[in-house]
Amino acid sequence: MSTLAAHEWELWSTTARLVVTEPDALAEARVLTDALLADVELAASRFRDDSEIRNLRPGLNIVSALLADLVREALSAAWVTDGAVDPTVGGALARLGYDRDIRLVERNGRNVAVIRPVPGWRAVGLEGSVLTLPPEVDLDLGSTAKASAADRCAAEIASRLGVGVLVSLGGDIATAGPGPGADGGWQIRVADHDDDPDDQISLPPGSAIATSSTVRRTWSRAGERVHHVVDPRTGGPADPVWRSVTVAARDCLTANTASTAAVVKGHAALDWLRGQGLSARLVDRHHRVHLVGGWPRETGDAA
Amino acid sequence: MRPPIRRNRRTQQALAGLSVVGALGAATALDLSTQTASAGSDSGSTTTRAHARSGSSGSGGRLARDLRPAADSPTKSPRQSSPTTQQAQPQPAPSDGGAPQATTSGS
């Protein structure tokens, strides 16, 4: 049984958490994490004037290898979800009022002038480091870049320092290397909102978990509550069939892609997740829990 | 005892790079894969898909073939009465196999 060490700090208007299985490695693991996250932020933050993504222009853009990777992952996420997770939702999010750090979003803004389908990921071209954007396409990599960053941090720390590690970026959790405890699993609490039933599971080392929610990161427009998961088909917030969706997968990019897609897919999510062979836990609008695949069952859970 | 593991076994056969011109004229580099659900998988169907090409850096195309279920499913943990401890400074946390080491929630 190993002794764990942890750091927790504010990041991207949420909480980052780093846990390692060797306390002596914590400081260096934090340095590696900070460096990698700084790179991701500079490449992909919608809220920094000096980020690469904010300075993209219509037409051809030569982008860094990191941004190319992040865009490539976002396009792949769009592909495997049949467009449910689409990186061209940036304009839609801005029209909904989410054009700045969530803490600064106007809590009771005016009505949204225009809600329309997003341009669509197929309009984006990427060949090597050449990113092609049509006019009026604003990329938002929020659904994939944070999860990818968690994966990258965990892999880098485990590889460089030879320790077991858990990296949580706002609840997007990636692990790498050996796990802690008698069974080797990482103990993960699943708790999206105080009003919802929570859970705790043991996550196998080397795997990941992520939650997407329609009840967190919310604000109001003309008295109507809106959330940040956009349905690309409408350009508006996804129908909140699910209060939250949690998915376990081999990596956090997959987990977050699937949880976000499940929110967008609404009632079709259960069959879609089953078809993907994923383990998932969904909380519906009536606070009922639905389990998919290998998610461990608990007495009293709805099927 | 762990629950049965559901795995989505699919035969991946990358065929060829294919350039598809997007709706607004932007060329999107795609690969074409044939995905055949093997015995024991969910649908038993064969689908053909195009997907964004994996980059040379290795990580860019992690989703390019498919979503990737974990090799092992999560298992049930014993219930804990206290939530995750907030730790502003480095400190050892006991690994007793029960206390949560992190919390997942939407953000």
pLDDT tens for residues A31-40?
999 999 999 9
Q: pLDDT band at residue B73, thresholds of 50, 70 and 90?
A: confident
Of A210, A213, A277, which is closest to B69 when you measure between CB atoms?
Answer: A277
Least confident of A95-99, A139-143, A248-252, B48-52: B48-52
Q: Which chain A residues are within 8 Å of B60, Cβ to Cβ?
A: 68-69, 72-73, 76
Q: What is the mean pLDDT of residues A227-233?
A: 86
Residue A103 vs residue B60, higher pLDDT? A103
CB pair distance less than 8 Å for B59 and A152: yes
pLDDT of residue A136: 85
Separation between Cα atoms, residue A168 and residue B44, nearest integer Å: 36
Of A76, A152, A215, which is closest to B61 when you measure between CB atoms?
Answer: A76
pLDDT of residue A107: 64
State the average pLDDT for chain B.
44
With 80 as the cut, is the pLDDT of residue A275 above it?
Answer: yes
**Minimal C-alpha gap between B9 and chain A (Å):** 9
pLDDT tens for residues A109-167?
666 666 778 889 999 999 999 999 999 899 999 889 999 999 999 999 999 999 999 99
Q: What is the mean pLDDT of residues A271-288?
A: 95
Q: What is the mean pLDDT of residues A31-58?
A: 96
Q: Which residues of A189-225 are buried (b: 16+ CB within 10 A; e: fewer)?
A: bbbbbeebbbbbbbbbbbbbbbbbbbbbbbbebeeee
Q: Which chain B residues are within 8 Å of A168, Cβ to Cβ?
A: 102-104
**Minimal C-alpha gap between B102 and chain A (Å):** 5
Q: What is the ipTM of this complex?
A: 0.84
CB pair distance less than 8 Å for B55 and A7: no
pLDDT of residue A112: 62
Q: pLDDT band at residue A221, thresholds of 50, 70 and 90?
A: confident
Highest mean pLDDT among A63-67, A198-202, B18-22: A63-67
CB pair distance less than 8 Å for B42 and A275: yes
pLDDT of residue A18: 98
Q: What is the mean pLDDT of residues A215-239?
A: 81
A282-291 contacts: CB < 8 A, separation 24 or more?
Answer: A282/A242, A282/A244, A282/A245, A282/A246, A283/A192, A283/A196, A283/A197, A283/A242, A283/A243, A283/A244, A283/A245, A284/A241, A284/A242, A284/A243, A285/A240, A285/A241, A285/A242, A285/A243, A287/A195, A287/A196, A287/A197, A287/A243, A289/A197, A289/A199
pLDDT of residue A161: 98
pLDDT tens for residues A151-180?
999 999 999 999 999 999 998 999 999 999
**Minimal C-alpha gap between A128 and chain B (Å):** 7
